[in-house]
Amino acid sequence: AALFPGQKAIIASGFSETDRVKRLLELGACAYVRKPYTMETLGRAVREALDR
């Protein structure tokens, strides 16, 4: 966020990294999508991020 103000970020991971994901969301990441994900799930996360 500091390098690119206004940049939207979505976290995608196949691992259960609860503390790390929580921290990234606190820092401004828009969403967390767990792998494997469908295009519908990813698309919904992207739409929600863009609508913020």
Please provide the average confidence, as pLDDT, over all residues in the chain: 91
The residue ranges of every structural domain in the chain are 10-51
CA distance 34 to 45: 11
pLDDT over threshold 80, residue 3: no
Confidence band of 45 (pLDDT split at 50, 70, 90): very high
pLDDT score, position 22 = 92
Q: What is the DSSP string of 11-49?
A: EEESS--HHHHHHHHHTT--EEEESS--HHHHHHHHHHH
pLDDT score, position 49 = 93
The first and second tokens of residue 26, run together, are 């606190």
pLDDT over threshold 60, residue 18: yes
